[in-house]
Amino acid sequence: MSASRPLSIEVNRIRHTLDVAPDVPLLNVLRNDLCLNGPKFGCGLGECGACTVLVDGVAARSCVIPLAGVDGRSITTLEGLAMPAGNGRSQKLDPVQQAFIDEQAAQCGYCINGMIMTIKALLLRKPEPTEQEIRSELEFNLCRCGTHVEIMRAALRAVQLNSAAAAGEAGE
């Protein structure tokens, strides 16, 4: 491990300065130092997708990214997708989160963080992807419970909810 030094990252719209070794995996910092439980430790090799977060809006596997690799950047975890609902206490779920709830797309729930974050990144890049584009995007997110049908339904519903939310924002 390298000697610790102050590193600054924005996580879920909050700036954090952390005095940790620069080679510590981002996942460890998110879970251990910032107490965020959305990203999960799965394989530790960046292959399963359970640890997926958004780095400047792009899906990234946090278990293989050293903290120094995101110094000064913006990180969004599953917890950061929801937005304040206006009353300061409750939150409005992101359309992708809502779609996964609506379609009951979780069984054990371990892969869901990666699935949601991957779909969110896709929708940021391409607001109306095809079913094949969604399948291609999710190809490297592993699910052992076999909820693939529900996950696909949730992803397709997320596209609809995302479009409706965008249309609502445009009308405000």
Which CATH number characterizes residue 76's domain? Answer: 3.10.20.30
- pLDDT tens track for 88-117: 667 889 999 999 999 999 888 889 999 999
Q: Are residues 62 and 94 in the same domain?
A: no
CA distance 41 to 26: 11
pLDDT of residue 88: 64
Structure tokens at 107: 């069984």
What is the b/e burial string over 117-128, where b = at least 16 CB atoms within 10 angstroms of the residue's CB? bbbbbbbeeeee
Predicted TM-score (pTM) of this structure: 0.91
Q: Which of 45, 80, 115 is the last residue of a domain?
A: 80
Contact predicate 110/42, CB 8 Å? yes
Same domain, 75 and 122: no
Query: How far apart are the C-alpha atoms of 24 and 71, rounded to whole Å?
Result: 12
- DSSP classification of residue 1: -
Q: Domain check: are 38 and 116 in the same one?
A: no
Domain boundary among 58, 80, 102: 80
**In terms of domains, do 122 and 156 share one?**
yes
Question: 16, 46, 80 — which closes off a domain?
Answer: 80
Percentage helix, strand, coil, to 5, in the chain?
40, 20, 40
How large is the average pLDDT for residues 121-125?
97
SS3 123: helix
- Residues 90 and 138 grouped into a single domain: yes
Question: Six-digit token pair at 94?
Answer: 């992101």
Closest CA to 118 of 135, 93, 102: 135
Q: How confident is the model at residue 16 (pLDDT cuts 50, 70, 90)?
A: very high
Q: Which residue has the higher pLDDT, 15 or 89?
A: 15
Domains: count for the chain? 2
Q: Are residues 141 and 155 in the same domain?
A: yes
* Boundaries of domain holding 12: 5-80
